[in-house]
Amino acid sequence: MVNWHDVTGTISGDCPWNDDLLFAELVTKKLEIPLKTVDFSDEYRKRIVDYMFSEYEKGRTPNPDVLCNREVKFDLFLKAALQEGADYIATGHYCRKNELHTRNGNVYQLLAGVDTAKDQSYFLCQLSHPSFRKRCSYRQSEKKRSARNCP
């Protein structure tokens, strides 16, 4: 997923998406799976950057990370991934998801990570229920340090 091309005013290495792409290429080559990229830079500018500056002009402090998760990762990117046949998307956010079985269907809860010092559930707080149920976590019940050591 590419969200930004404009490097005007950035310090070299400030937004290393080229490095991220190279890393993704190495991983997909090792796993012998195809890599597909999608460019959401226009939508990102409209939904995140323009909103952020509008809020600053009004004297408010927006949280572009929370907004990006709701508007880009779990809307545009999720839809693109599902169109490609994905069942879920995985993010690097450290938090937990709980599934409750009710008479009216399953309900998914966003929970803080086990290691509260590393918890990132706040960044997913504005996700819709349908979007959140399509997010998977790897070893979400463990401390973040041990999750990083997984194969």
Query: In the numeric block, which tokens belong to residue 108?
Result: 């998914």
Statement: residue 141 has pLDDT above 70: no
| pLDDT for the residue 129 | 76
d(CA 54, CA 37): 29
Higher pLDDT, 131 or 15: 131
Statement: residue 124 has pLDDT above 60: yes
| pLDDT for the residue 67 | 92
| pLDDT for the residue 150 | 37
Q: In a 3-state reduction of DSSP, which class is residue 149?
A: coil
Statement: residue 79 has pLDDT above 90: yes
Closest CA to 115 of 147, 69, 73: 147
d(CA 71, CA 82): 16
Query: In the numeric block, which tokens belong to residue 18?
Result: 């080229």
**Looking at 54-63, 70-79, 130-139, which range is the least confident one?**
130-139
Closest CA to 3 of 72, 69, 50: 72
Region 136-148: mean pLDDT is: 54
Statement: residue 76 has pLDDT above 90: yes
Region 43-47: mean pLDDT is: 94
| pLDDT for the residue 149 | 40
